[in-house]
């Protein structure tokens, strides 16, 4: 592997420029058309870096349906296994997609939204909150009225005049 890189570096840098510039930028400093097959061979190698967090593969309904149809067309021994390896899926996924397809074609193959389901809003909830607010307001005004009535009773008791009898206008 190092031998390939050294040959590529020599072909790309005939003037003997440093390899550090190529490493830092990923492009040879000479920029010539040296060894295009060697460049292609180096570029086709998989990146050895492992990502920090793996990404979850997502299949849309059309892709799922295509894979299920391909699996249904497999007739010889080992074809389904080869299909699963090629697509990078498990047999359980394929069987789940088949069940979903049997339920309702493309709509069933779309992934369901994950997480908690929202509760359906009660159509009378707004009316209930309005009535509760009105009830609290009426209770406060009733407390004020009872306080005023108690105060009037105490005043009447101090003045020795009964509250049950309305005042006489003729007495004045």
How high is the mean pLDDT in each 10-residue block of the chain (172 residues)? 55 50 50 54 68 79 88 90 91 89 69 78 89 96 94 85 62 50
* C-alpha closest to that of 30 among 57, 8, 47: 8
- Listed in sequence order, the residues at least 6 apart from 13 whose beta carbon sits closer than 8 Å to its beta carbon are 19, 22, 28, 29, 30
Predicted pLDDT at 154: 87
Cα–Cα distance for residue pair 139/151, rounded to 1 Å: 18
Own/partner long-range contacts of 101-109 (Cβ < 8 Å, ≥24 apart): 101/64, 101/65, 101/68, 105/65, 106/61, 106/62, 106/65, 107/61, 109/61, 109/64, 109/65
Predicted pLDDT at 120: 83
pTM of the model: 0.36
CB atoms within 10 A of CB 126: 10
How far is Cα of residue 30 from the mean position of the Cα atoms in its chain?
A: 47
Predicted pLDDT at 99: 85
Predicted pLDDT at 59: 84
- Listed in sequence order, the residues at least 6 apart from 14 whose beta carbon sits closer than 8 Å to its beta carbon are 30, 32, 34
Predicted pLDDT at 145: 94
Eight-state DSSP code of residue 150? H
Eight-state DSSP code of residue 113? P
Predicted pLDDT at 85: 92
Predicted pLDDT at 118: 80
Burial bucket for residue 70 (CB in 10 Å: 0-12, 13-18, 19+): middle
pLDDT digits (tens, 9 = 90+) for 95-114: 988 888 887 765 655 667 77
Predicted pLDDT at 56: 78
Place of tokens 């490493």: 23
Predicted pLDDT at 122: 85
Predicted pLDDT at 97: 87
Place of tokens 């967090």: 53
Q: How many helices (H) and strands (E) does the chain have?
A: 7, 0
Predicted pLDDT at 135: 96
């Amino acid at each position: 592997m190092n031998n390939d890189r050294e040959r590529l570096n020599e072909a790309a840098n005939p003037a003997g420029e440093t390899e550090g510039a190529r490493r830092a930028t990923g492009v040879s400093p000479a920029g010539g058309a040296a060894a295009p097959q060697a460049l292609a061979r180096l570029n086709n190698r998989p990146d050895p870096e492992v990502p920090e967090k793996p990404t979850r593969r997502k299949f849309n309904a059309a892709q799922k349906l295509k894979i299920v149809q391909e699996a249904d067309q497999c007739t010889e021994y080992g074809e389904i296994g080869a299909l699963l390896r090629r697509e990078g899926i498990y047999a359980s996924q394929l069987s789940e997609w088949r069940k979903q397809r049997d339920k309702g074609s493309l709509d069933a193959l779309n992934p369901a939204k994950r997480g908690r389901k929202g509760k359906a809003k009660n159509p009378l909830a707004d009316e209930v909150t309005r009535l509760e607010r009105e009830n609290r307001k009426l209770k406060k005004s009733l407390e004020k009225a009872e306080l005023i009535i108690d105060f009037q009773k105490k005043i009447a008791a101090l003045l020795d005049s009964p509250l049950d009898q309305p005042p006489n206008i003729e007495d004045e």
